[in-house]
């Protein structure tokens, strides 16, 4: 009788230890980043003249940030807008994380996101007369296809010639900006509008499910987490992807086809980022202008790194960054702290994650997993002279 | 001669190509100074890339390094200018405040480079991740501080002014425009050519250059003949950061006299592209940067000096965004090896781990 609970607590303890070993470094990094952020706030108070020095300003700023992100209980809308800001980060984070799992660094989520957005608008306009039940799937498919094409290009180039995806995806980000601007000002422009703008997506708009602006895209993002997790951990394809990421040589000797894997993986990365772009226009914007700006693509890299390329980790990391993005405006209004502080915090978190060996030593966090769970091989084949696979 | 030209232009399709080439030669003297001005920051970014990658450190944080330098140069000028009031001197419009700001910009860039060096050489973090984080951090920190500072509507310390070359040089037939291109510029742009040539010579003709190339190709062999791989890499990354800083400073202290969020606008990445196309050599990278800049110069010249006839119609029908995207498309094509392969230093991007000494 006594042995059983003891075994259970032992088991419970080992689970707790496993969880701790995974979350310790991210948590420490977040905490340290908040401290650095507080120091920056205090420092800029000292430097900027014409203000009384307020030693509690960092605390007021963080409380405002939290209040802006979560809101006080009866109010639902702050929480909903956090979720709306989170959804594209989840999809973008999954896009980058999926690449990480197979040893590919997809810096191109930004371009794939833009292509997804414009693809969704184009598809929505093409079926503008149709009811929502037809229009939404078509528009989503248009966005996913456009994103997937933007991921396929660096994939096929890497598979055929060994061109490193870091270089090609960065370049494709800029090509995407130009192509996007041209499509908005040219083929898809509303004739006679004072500045370039596309027509409304009409019936293809995601229905609102909850609160102010809580659209269908929230469920899409949540479903994507499950699907990607299933794909990575429960299918042969996912096993091949992870093997190719962990050890490309072993993958090749085991008879997997790395070239095919690269093309398919990059296309899936693009598809996920494209879905994020489609969600933004179908759920929130409903049309795009030539000044349509986004940082989702770059935030996605941060999300994937903080989430250790794990789908569930990505979900939590995206929630954190989404909450910070959405709470930032209240922080700016009520504490007078520029919303860009969120970018600073985000970068500082990553900085501490990258400097993992140092953090581990400083805080004697032995036995914890290293901060960045990504194969350290991206740079190895940078603009490689030889195709590295197959 | 004229008859020959008219008959060449008369050939269908190919005639348009000849006409386009003729147009380019015609507008070259006018657009050449613009081209160099656009190419200067790209070249400096590429020089930073060459310094780092030749010694085996991949640096995609150049974009962020430039942004920090652009911001610091501007903001230090804003702070210092009221303290040391001075009339701009006739020589490039230099004031003490501008000089102090310029030095501060270089210093800040070297600090950012030091961070990348520490992460990628000592911590042995993935160099691409380290560079990406530096870019995100630079964008956030400069945006945050810029927002705070712009509340007090600061007055800029001004900018370096252009040198006016003596008119007898510019008026030399056929080659006068070359003097105009290189001399009718601010001090940073003028010094770019010097920096490129000095770096090219040093890299291939000096002891430092030989050591740099050795540790970029085969660090272990270099270490066995007594070269301190870690130290040379640190030095190269930091000095490279200084060059990127010069490029960043040129944006906010020479080409304009103000700072905007994210004003580097991808120049650090185009610089990397120029380095790749220039095959990791300073002169090659400079050529590639000029090529990239020409894309922008052509797109500008088409609007202010539209060629006549069919060619004009054709060129006007090409959307401006095409010219914006052209440098990136060219880079993708080159990296994919469709026009000659560009091969990086063999140990590029690999952290170096010293073997335990017995």
Indicate the SS3 state at residue A260: helix
Could you tell me which chain A residue has the CA closest to the CA of B339?
A161
For residue A132, pLDDT beyond 70:
yes
For residue B262, pLDDT beyond 80:
yes
Residues in chain B within 8 Å Cβ distance of A376: 126
Residue A63: Cβ-neighbour burial (10 angstroms; 0-12, 13-18, 19+): middle
**Residue in B147, B349, B350 closest to A338 by CB:** B147
Phi first, then psi: give them for residue A374, nearest 5 degrees: -140, 140
Q: Which of A187-191, A228-232, A311-315, B53-57 has the lowest mean pLDDT?
A: A187-191
Do the Cβ atoms of B133 and A179 come within 8 Å?
A: no
Structure tokens at B87: 């009339």
CA A24 – CA B122 distance, rounded (Å): 23
Judge contact between B29 and B184, C-beta under 8 A.
no
Q: Which residue has the higher pLDDT, B149 or A152?
A: A152
Q: Which residues of B319-339 are buried (b: 16+ CB within 10 A; e: fewer)?
A: bbbebbbbbbbbbbebbbbee
B312: CB partners within 8 A, 6+ apart: B306
| pLDDT tens track for B218-261 | 888 888 888 899 999 999 999 999 999 999 999 999 888 889 88
Judge contact between B80 and B101, C-beta under 8 A.
yes
Judge contact between B129 and B116, C-beta under 8 A.
no
Judge contact between A306 and A328, C-beta under 8 A.
no
Taking the CA atoms of A27, A31, A37 and A43 in sequence, report the sign of the dihedral they define: negative
For residue B31, pLDDT beyond 60:
yes
- Which pLDDT belongs to residue B339? 55
- How near does any CA of chain A get to the CA of B126, in Å? 6
In this structure, the number of other CB atoms found within 10 A of the CB of residue A42 comes to 16
| ipTM of this complex prediction, to 2 decimal places | 0.84
Judge contact between B224 and B203, C-beta under 8 A.
no
In this structure, the number of other CB atoms found within 10 A of the CB of residue A331 comes to 25
Q: How does residue B28 score in pLDDT terms, banded at 50, 70 and 90?
A: confident
The whole model's pTM is what? 0.87
Indicate the SS3 state at residue A210: strand
**Residue in A182, A339, A357 closest to B123 by CB:** A357
CA A102 – CA A265 distance, rounded (Å): 8
Mean pLDDT over all residues of chain A? 85
| pLDDT tens track for B170-188 | 777 777 777 777 877 888 9
| pLDDT tens track for A15-24 | 888 778 778 8
Phi first, then psi: give them for residue B91, nearest 5 degrees: -85, 95
Residue position matching structure tokens 């060059």: B243
Q: Which residue has the higher pLDDT, B108 or B350?
A: B108
What single-letter DSSP state applies at residue B258?
S
Q: How does residue A335 score in pLDDT terms, banded at 50, 70 and 90?
A: confident
Q: Which residue has the higher pLDDT, A114 or B312?
A: A114
Judge contact between A71 and A81, C-beta under 8 A.
no
For residue B153, pLDDT beyond 80:
no
Structure tokens at A163: 């061109």
CA B306 – CA B302 distance, rounded (Å): 5
Stretch B331-351: mean pLDDT? 75
Instruction: State the DSSP H helix or E strand holding residue A215, giving kind and residue range, or none if neither.
Output: strand A214-215
Do the Cβ atoms of A163 and B337 come within 8 Å?
A: yes
Do the Cβ atoms of A380 and B149 come within 8 Å?
A: no
| pLDDT tens track for B270-323 | 898 899 888 899 999 999 999 888 888 888 788 777 777 777 777 877 888 888
For residue A380, pLDDT beyond 50:
no
Q: What is the CA radius of gyration of chain A?
A: 22
Of A277, A273, A304, A370, the C-alpha closest to A102 is A304
Of B282, B280, B290, the C-alpha closest to B330 is B290
- Which pLDDT belongs to residue B150? 82
Do the Cβ atoms of A358 and B123 come within 8 Å?
A: yes
CA A275 – CA A98 distance, rounded (Å): 14
Of B214, B230, B290, the C-alpha closest to B39 is B290
Of A70, A69, A79, A43, the C-alpha closest to A58 is A43
In this structure, the number of other CB atoms found within 10 A of the CB of residue A385 comes to 13
| pLDDT tens track for A6-56 | 666 777 778 888 778 778 888 888 999 999 999 988 888 777 666 677 888
Indicate the SS3 state at residue A192: coil
- Rank A70-79, B194-203, B346-355 by mean pLDDT and report only the highest: B194-203
Q: How does residue A385 score in pLDDT terms, banded at 50, 70 and 90?
A: very low
Do the Cβ atoms of A175 and B325 come within 8 Å?
A: yes
Indicate the SS3 state at residue A208: strand
**Residue in A44, A157, A385 closest to B145 by CB:** A44
CA B41 – CA B45 distance, rounded (Å): 6
Q: Which residue has the higher pLDDT, A275 or B224?
A: A275
End-to-end CA distance of chain A: 58
Of B300, B276, B301, the C-alpha closest to B288 is B276
CA B355 – CA A1 distance, rounded (Å): 55
- Which pLDDT belongs to residue A129? 84
Judge contact between A281 and A201, C-beta under 8 A.
yes
Judge contact between A68 and A330, C-beta under 8 A.
yes
Structure tokens at B149: 């500072």
Residues in chain B within 8 Å Cβ distance of A305: 129
End-to-end CA distance of chain B: 77
Of B220, B248, B258, the C-alpha closest to B347 is B220
Residues in chain A within 8 Å Cβ distance of B117: none
Give me the DSSP letters along A317-370.
HHHHHHHHHHHHHHHHHHH---TTHHHHHHHHHHHHHHTHHHHHHHTT-TTPPP
| pLDDT tens track for B87-145 | 777 777 778 888 899 999 999 999 999 999 999 888 888 888 889 889 989 998 999 98
Residue A355: Cβ-neighbour burial (10 angstroms; 0-12, 13-18, 19+): buried
- Rank A62-71, A186-195, A317-326 by mean pLDDT and report only the highest: A317-326
- Which pLDDT belongs to residue A5? 62
Distances B153 to A13, A337, B79, B237 between C-alpha atoms, Å: 58, 17, 12, 36
| pLDDT tens track for A203-258 | 888 998 888 888 899 999 999 999 999 999 999 999 988 888 888 788 888 888 88
What single-letter DSSP state applies at residue A381?
G
CA A169 – CA B88 distance, rounded (Å): 44
Do the Cβ atoms of A379 and B127 come within 8 Å?
A: yes
Structure tokens at A344: 């600073």
In this structure, the number of other CB atoms found within 10 A of the CB of residue B185 comes to 23
Give me the DSSP letters along A217-234.
HHHHHHHHHHHHHHHHHH
- Which pLDDT belongs to residue A368? 58
Structure tokens at B136: 């995100």
Chain A, window 332-351: residues with a beta carbon less than 8 angstroms from a chain B beta carbon = 338-348, 350-351
Mean pLDDT over all residues of chain B? 85
CA B45 – CA A336 distance, rounded (Å): 35
């Amino acid at each position: 009788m006594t042995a059983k609970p003891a075994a259970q607590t032992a088991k419970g303890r080992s689970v707790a230890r496993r969880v701790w070993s995974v979350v310790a470094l991210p948590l420490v990094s977040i905490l340290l980043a908040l401290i650095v952020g507080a120091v920056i706030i205090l420092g800029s108070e000292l430097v900027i003249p014409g203000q009384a020095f307020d030693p509690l300003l960092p605390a007021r700023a963080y409380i405002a940030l939290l209040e802006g992100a979560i809101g006080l209980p009866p109010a639902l809308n702050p929480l909903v807008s956090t979720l709306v800001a989170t959804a594209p980060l989840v999809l973008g984070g999954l896009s980058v994380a999926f690449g990480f799992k197979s040893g590919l660094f997809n810096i191109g989520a930004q371009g794939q996101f833009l292509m997804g957005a414009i693809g969704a608008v184009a598809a929505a306009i093409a079926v503008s007369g149709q009811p929502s039940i037809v229009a939404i799937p078509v528009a989503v498919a248009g966005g996913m296809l456009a994103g997937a094409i933007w991921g396929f290009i660096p994939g096929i180039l890497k598979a055929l010639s060994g061109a490193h995806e870091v270089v090609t995806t960065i370049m494709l980000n800029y090509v995407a900006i130009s192509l996007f601007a041209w499509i908005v000002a040219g083929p898809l422009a509303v004739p006679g509008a004072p500045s370039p703008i596309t027509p409304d997506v009409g019936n293809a708009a995601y229905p609102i499910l909850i609160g102010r602006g809580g659209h269908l895209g929230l469920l899409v993002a949540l479903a994507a987490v499950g699907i990607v997790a299933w794909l990575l951990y429960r299918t042969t394809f996912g096993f091949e992807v992870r093997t190719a990421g962990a050890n490309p040589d072993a993958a090749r000797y085991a008879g997997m086809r790395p070239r095919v894997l690269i093309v398919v993986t990059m296309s899936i990365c693009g598809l996920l980022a494209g879905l994020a772009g489609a969600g933004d226009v179908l759920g929130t914007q409903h049309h795009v202008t030539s000044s349509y700006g986004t940082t989702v693509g770059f935030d996605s890299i941060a999300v994937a790194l903080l989430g250790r390329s794990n789908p569930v980790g990505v979900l939590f990391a995206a929630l954190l960054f989404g909450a910070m993005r959405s709470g930032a405006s209240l922080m700016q209004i009520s504490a007078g702290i520029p919303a860009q502080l969120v970018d600073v915090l985000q970068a500082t978190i990553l900085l501490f994650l990258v400097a993992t060996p140092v953090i581990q030593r400083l805080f004697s966090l032995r036995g914890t997993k290293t901060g960045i769970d990504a194969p350290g091989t991206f740079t190895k084949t940078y603009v490689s002279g030889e195709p590295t696979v197959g | 001669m004229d008859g020959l030209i008219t008959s060449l232009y008369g050939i269908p399709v190919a005639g348009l190509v000849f006409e386009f080439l003729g147009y380019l030669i015609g507008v070259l003297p006018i657009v050449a100074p613009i081209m160099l001005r656009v190419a200067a920051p790209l070249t400096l970014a590429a020089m930073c890339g060459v310094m780092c990658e030749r010694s085996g450190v991949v640096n995609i944080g150049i974009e962020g390094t430039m942004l920090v330098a652009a911001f610091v140069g501007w903001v230090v000028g804003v702070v210092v200018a009221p303290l040391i009031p001075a009339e701009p001197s006739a020589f490039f419009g230099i004031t003490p405040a501008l000089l102090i700001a310029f030095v501060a910009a270089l210093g800040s860039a070297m600090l950012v480079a030091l961070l990348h060096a520490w992460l990628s050489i000592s911590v042995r973090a993935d160099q691409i991740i380290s560079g990406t984080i530096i870019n995100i951090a630079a964008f956030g920190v400069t945006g945050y501080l810029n927002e705070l500072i712009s509340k007090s509507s600061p007055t800029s310390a001004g900018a370096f002014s252009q040198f006016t070359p003596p008119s007898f040089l510019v008026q030399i037939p056929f080659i006068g425009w070359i003097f105009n291109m290189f001399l009718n510029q601010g001090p940073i742009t003028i010094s770019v050519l010097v920096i490129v040539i000095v770096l090219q010579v040093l890299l291939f003709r000096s002891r430092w250059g030989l050591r740099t190339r050795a540790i970029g190709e085969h660090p272990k062999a270099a270490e066995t003949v007594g070269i301190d791989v870690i130290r040379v890499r640190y030095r190269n990354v930091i000095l490279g950061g200084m060059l990127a800083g010069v490029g960043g400073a040129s944006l906010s202290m020479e080409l304009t006299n103000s700072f905007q969020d994210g004003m580097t606008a991808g120049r650090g990445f185009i610089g990397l592209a120029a380095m790749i196309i220039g095959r990791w050599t300073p002169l090659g990278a400079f050529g590639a940067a000029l090529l990239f800049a020409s894309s922008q110069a052509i797109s500008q010249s088409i609007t202010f000096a539209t060629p006549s006839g069919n060619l004009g119609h054709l060129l006007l029908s090409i959307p401006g965004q095409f010219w914006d995207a052209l440098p990136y498309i060219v880079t993708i094509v080159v990296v994919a090896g469709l026009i000659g392969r560009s091969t990086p230093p063999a140990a590029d991007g690999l952290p170096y781990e010293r073997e335990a000494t017995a």
